[in-house]
Amino acid sequence: MTTSTSLRGLGRPTTVALVQLSTYCWLLYAIGSITLLLRTEQGWSRALAGSHATAMAAGFILAGAIMTRALDAVGETALRSICMAGVALALVGFGASHQPWLSLASAALGGTSGALLVNILNPSLVRQHGPRAGSVMALINAAGATVGSLAPLMVGAAAASRFGWRPLLWAVAVAALATIRSRPSDAAAAAPAQAGAADPEHAASQPKFRLAVAALFAGLVVEFTTSIFAADAVRTQTGLTTADAATAASVFIIGFALSRWVATALVSRFNPARVMAVGYVVAGLGLALVAMATGAPWMLAGLFLTGLGIGPSYPMMVTLALRSAVSGSYRASARIGLGSGVVIAVAPFLLGALSDRVGLAPLFLTLCGTAAVAALSVWRGFLYASH
């Protein structure tokens, strides 16, 4: 059982991490609305729109491959500054995009920069906070998701205004550059420790690590695919305009952000694995509702439930995976980053191509099954063995 955590008690290094992660989250959760707007402007297919997630995932793969060498070369503080500069440049690129090559390059750069940042922060936070790591990870990811939830609202509102959505991205790029001036203390860049060393209740176990990673990857498929195609589903199945659909689809991110705040409190009282087993079931129910909905109220309810269930997946499963890792935490984080990139590269593109042929309902039914696999993995790895 972990102790409760609040924003005021995080400490300066973790607060700096929160600010940088939140800036990246804004870009991450704006991608769905940005690609929908570009698709409408340029007449792109859903597969091409989905390939932006593939390009971002290619960046995730690259980040996992170069992470340890980059850390050795420049150190954590400098690398985090480079990452934030990359996020800013990706936002500028999206704002200037009129051709697929530039938006795809921006997605790849944003993915590389953001994944490097996350891959560095995760093991550092788990090591620093020990038994409180689950609560801290949920908290800073909740803050990041909350900031991210503003992205589709802001992009949709900007698209409907006379100024357009592109200047908004350039303004956020300036904000990303401003975070470079925030330097974490040297304590945050301490030498890597073995995952789980600070918390004897979570001994290293390769089978548990693998099942935690399997659930994590399944959750990422649901999260990224839904984020990319939620606005399209709202527009297609409810008849809303593109701008209104981009705004309405933010209900997924709102549920996503809300659930991370709730998880911050829940993991101080309940086993994180139990929290996520229930979360994956809730997400599956929401995805089934999205697949069957024909009106806006049911569609939005389904997206909200999906976000509510899947929201805690990343911080909870990363924490459980790193605590269970047999190898060092930075090496395990790099492996998770590589695998995440492969999963995210393949799933949205293939499911987007499928939806071009058969529609969006089968896509969301497939995601429903994916959430069920995640729930089963958590149960088998962390709950079944305890009985």
Cα Rg of the chain (Å, integer) = 19
Please name the amino acid found at residue 115. Answer: A
Structure tokens at 191: 């030498």
The confidence band for 187, taking pLDDT boundaries of 50, 70 and 90, is very low
Mean pLDDT highest for which of 13-17, 156-160, 214-218, 261-265? 214-218
Q: Between these two residues, 36 and 11, which has the higher pLDDT value?
A: 36
| Residue 127, pLDDT above cutoff 70 | yes
State phi, psi for 98 to the nearest 5 degrees.
Answer: -135, -10
State the chain's mean pLDDT as an integer: 82
The answer, yes or no, to whether residue 143 has pLDDT greater than 50, is: yes
| Predicted local distance difference test score (pLDDT) of residue 6 | 56
pLDDT > 90? residue 85: yes
- pLDDT confidence of 327, banded at 50, 70, 90? low
Q: What is the pLDDT of residues 45-65, one digit of tens each?
A: 877 887 887 788 889 899 988
Average pLDDT over residues 119-145: 80
Q: Is the pLDDT of residue 224 over 90?
A: no
Can you give the pLDDT at residue 5?
54
Q: What is the mean pLDDT of residues 332-359?
A: 83
Write the single-letter amino acid at 267.
V
DSSP 68-128: HHHHHHH-HHHHHHHHHHHHHHHHHHHHH-SSHHHHHHHHHHHHHHHHHHHHHHHHHHHHH
Mean pLDDT for the stretch of residues 188-207? 48
Per-residue confidence band for 305, with pLDDT thresholds at 50, 70 and 90: very high
Q: Dihedral of CA 12/14/18/21: which sign? A: positive
What pLDDT, in 10s, does the model give residues 361-382? Answer: 888 999 999 999 999 999 988 8
Give the pLDDT band (50/70/90) at residue 3.
Answer: very low
- State yes or no: pLDDT of 319 exceeds 80: yes
CATH architecture of 11-182+197-386: Up-down Bundle (1.20)
pLDDT score for 353: 84
What band does 9 get if pLDDT is binned at 50, 70 and 90?
Answer: low
Task: Single out the residue of 120, 144, 102, 25 nearest to residue 63, CA to CA.
Answer: 120
Q: How far apart are the first and last CA of the chain?
A: 17
Question: Is 82 within 8 Å of 106 (Cβ atoms)?
Answer: no
**CA separation for the pair 376, 324 (Å, rounded):** 18
Q: What is the number of alpha carbons within 13 Å of residue 197 lying toward its C-beta?
A: 13
Q: What pLDDT is recorded for position 12?
A: 72
Return phi, psi of residue 192, to 5°. -60, 145
Please give the DSSP secondary-structure letter assigned to residue 374: H
List the structure tokens of 351.
């499911």
SS (H, E, C) 158-215: HHHCCCCCHHHHHHHHHHHHHHHHCCCCHHHHCCCCECCCCCCCCCCCHHHHHHHHHH
What is the model's pLDDT at position 197?
Answer: 39
d(CA 96, CA 102): 8
pLDDT value at 135 more than 80: no
Q: What is the pLDDT of residues 147-160, one digit of tens each?
A: 887 888 899 888 88
Q: Helix, strand, or coil here: 271?
A: coil
The string of pLDDT tens digits covering residues 246-264 is 777 878 988 988 888 888 8
Burial of 69 (0-12, 13-18, 19+ CB in 10 A): exposed
Q: How confident is the model at residue 204 (pLDDT cuts 50, 70, 90)?
A: low
Phi, psi of 9 (to 5 degrees): -100, 15
Q: What is the pLDDT of residue 192?
A: 41
Share of the chain above pLDDT 90, in %: 25
In the prediction, which pLDDT does 16 show?
Answer: 79
What is the reported pLDDT for 277?
A: 92
Query: Between the ranges 137-146, 325-334, 347-356, 368-377, where is the mean pLDDT highest?
Result: 368-377
Question: Structural domain boundaries of the chain?
Answer: 11-182+197-386
d(CA 139, CA 30): 21
Over 70: is that where the pLDDT of 182 sits? Answer: no
pLDDT band at 94 (very low <50, low <70, confident <90, very high): very high
- Per-residue pLDDT for 19 more than 70? yes
pLDDT score recorded for residue 7: 57
pLDDT recorded at residue 289? 92
